[in-house]
Amino acid sequence: MDEALAMLAECDPRQLAEARSGQEILRRARAALDKVGAVNERVRTAAEAMRLAQSAAAGAAAAVEINERFRAQRAEAASNAPRGMSLREALARQGYASDDGKSFTLDEALAQIGK
C-alpha cells in the first residue's frame, strides 16, 4: 500500500488523468462487449424460437396431411359400404320369407305367393 501511495505521489497530474482515462476506456469497452454478448444471446434465443416455429409448422403440416389422408380413407370406406338390403330382407318385407329366417320350401313359397 505504501508503494502504491509513493507511486501516486511521484506521478504528475497528466499521468494520473491518462490512467483514469485508460480505465474509463476499458470500462466502456467492457460494457460494449457485455452489450454485444447480450445481443448475441438475443440472436441465439431468436434463432431457437425460429427453429421451434419451423418445427411446429412442419408438425402441423404433417398433421394436416395425415388428417386429409384419413378423411379420404374414411370417405372411400363409406362409399364402398354395402347399400340397400339383402335379398332375404327384401323377401321378408314383402312377406315371402319366414319369420324365423329359414328358407321356404317350394310348397310354402307357392302358398305364400297365392295369398
Closest alpha carbon to 1 in 9, 76, 27, 34 = 9
Kindly tell me if the per-residue pLDDT of 8 is higher than 70: no
Q: How confident is the model at residue 106 (pLDDT cuts 50, 70, 90)?
A: confident
Same domain for 10 and 61, yes or no, is yes
What residue numbers bound the domain in which 94 lies? 85-115
What digits encode the pLDDT tens for the residues 44-76?
A: 788 888 888 888 888 888 888 999 999 888 888
Same domain for 61 and 104, yes or no, is no
C-alpha cell of residue 20:
483514469
- The total domain count for the chain is 2
Mean pLDDT of the chain: 76
Same domain for 70 and 90, yes or no, is no
Looking at per-residue confidence, does 10 or 77 come out higher?
77
Q: Give pTM, 2 decimals.
A: 0.37
